[in-house]
Structure 1
Amino acid sequence: MTVEFSMADSEHLPNVKHSLLEVHAEVWRKDAERALDAGSGEPFEARLEAAASRPGWTVAIGYENSRPVGYCHGFSLAADTDWWSNTILSLPKYVTWETGQRTAVLSEIAVRKPWRGTGVAAQLHEVWLSVRPEERVTLLVDSAVGDGALQAACEAWGYRRVADHREPRESTVYTAMIRPVRHP
C-alpha cells in the first residue's frame, strides 16, 4: 500500500473538493445523521467551505492509485476568536490568548476503512502539521467515539487535554486538546 500525500489551500479547494466529499461520504455512510450533522447541524460541504474561508486553511490529502483515501484539514485561530469561550470551566489567559498566528485548529481527519490502522491518519496529521506556521495546534474530541480510542490516538500523537468544551445548543461535551505543532 503506497499512499501519496498532497497539500492544498483555500485557493485550490475547487480542485480537491470532490476528493474530500468522496472520502467523507464513505467514512460517514453508515451513520447518515452524523454525515449530515457531525455536531454542527450543517452538511459537510457547507462546513468545509466555512472552514476553508478562514485564514490559514490547508488540507492534506492521501491518495493511493489516484483514489483519495483520507484527509486532514484545519485553519488558524484569529486573534479575536471565541474558540475558548465554550470551555465549561474558564481557562487562564496564557492558554486562551491568541494572536492570529499562535494556534492552528485541526478541524477534521477522516480515513477510509481499508486504510485505517495502517498509519495513514498519523501520516496525514504530520503532513498537515508540516506546513503549519503556528506554535501549537488544538482540536476537539468526542471522548465517546470508539470508546475513547480516538482520544487515545490523539494522546499518542502528543495532544493533552486542557478543558471540556460544549458548543451552544449542543449536548455533546468534547475534550479540548493542545500540542505543539513541532515536537522538541
Structure 2
Amino acid sequence: MTMNTVSLTHHDGEDATALLEELCDAYADAYGAEPGEEKTSAFRRRAKKQLTRPGFTLVVARDEGRLVGFVFGYTLAAGDTHWWGGVQPEPSAEFLEETGSRTWVLSEIEVRRAWQGKGVGRTLHDAVLGARGEERATLATGPDAPAQKVYTGWGWQLVGRIPGDDGDYYSAYDLFVLELPVSR
C-alpha cells in the first residue's frame, strides 16, 4: 500500500450514480460501520441528492482497482444562502452572497481505514480543489470533530457554527472556508 500505486479519476454526477455502491462501501469502512447501518444509509440519501447539483464533482482513489477513498461536492447556486443559515457569529452580508460560481461545498472526503494516515485524503483534497474555478470552498464538520485539526492544518479557516436540521447527525455543525486556488 503506497501512494505510488494509487490512481485518481474524476467523475460527474452521472458517473457517480454508477459508483454509489462502491462509495457506500468505502464510506462504511472509513467509519467502521456496516453498509446497511443508519450512518451509511444517511450517507446514501445525502449523496443521491447531491449528485444532481450544479458543479458536482467526484474524485476517486483506487489501488489495484479497489476504491480506497473519495471526495465529492457541488457549487452553491446563486442566491442559495441556506448553507450559511444561522451561522454564528454572523458574517457580513458580502460574505454570505452566493453568485452560482463563488463557493464550492466539499461535502464528503472519506478514506478506507487501512489507507488512513497515508496521504490519500490530502491527495484527494488537493486533486478536487485544484480543479475548481470558484473563489472559495466550504465544508461542515461536527463540533470538535477530530478531523478539524486536519482541516486547519490544510489551511481551512473556521467561520462559525450553524444549527443542524431535524434528522441531521449532529445538532450543530462548524463551518470552514478555504480560499481557492489551493496552493501547497
TM-score (norm 1): 0.87
Q: Offset at 1:153?
A: 0.5
Q: Offset at 1:93?
A: 1.1
Q: Offset at 1:31?
A: 7.7
> How far apart, in 1, do the equivalents of 2:104 and 2:126 lie?
13
Gaps of 5+ in 1: none
CA distances 1:68-89 after superposition (whole Å, capped 9, x unpaired): 0011000000112111113133
Structure-1 residue corresponding to 2:11: 8
Q: Offset at 1:15?
A: 3.0
User: What SS does the corresponding residue of 1:5 show, helix, strand or coil?
Assistant: strand
Percent identical residues: 29
The amino acid of 1:15's aligned partner reads A
**Which of 139, 142, 163 is the aligned partner of 2:160?**
163
Root-mean-square deviation (Å): 2.1
Q: Offset at 1:163?
A: 1.1
Q: Offset at 1:8?
A: 0.4
Q: Offset at 1:133?
A: 1.5
Does the 8 A contact of 1:87 with 1:163 survive in 2? yes
Structure-2 residue corresponding to 1:36: 38
Q: Offset at 1:90?
A: 2.1
> How far apart, in 2, do the equivalents of 1:163 and 1:119 lie?
28
User: What SS does the corresponding residue of 1:145 show, helix, strand or coil?
Assistant: coil
Q: Offset at 1:26?
A: 1.6
Change in 2 beyond 3 A, CA 1:162/1:31: farther
CA distances 1:36-77 after superposition (whole Å, capped 9, x unpaired): 247xxx622221110111111011110000000011000000
User: What SS does the corresponding residue of 2:129 show, helix, strand or coil?
Assistant: helix
> How far apart, in 2, do the equivalents of 1:182 and 1:132 lie?
7
User: What SS does the corresponding residue of 2:79 show, helix, strand or coil?
Assistant: coil
Structure-2 residue corresponding to 1:142: 142
TM-score (norm 2): 0.87
> How far apart, in 1, do the equivalents of 2:151 and 2:34 lie?
22
The amino acid of 2:133's aligned partner reads P
Change in 2 beyond 3 A, CA 1:101/1:44: same
Q: Offset at 1:115?
A: 0.7
The amino acid of 2:57's aligned partner reads T
CA distances 1:133-162 after superposition (whole Å, capped 9, x unpaired): 21100001223323xxx1111011110011
> How far apart, in 2, do the equivalents of 1:161 and 1:87 lie?
11
Change in 2 beyond 3 A, CA 1:12/1:21: same
Structure-1 residue corresponding to 2:20: 17
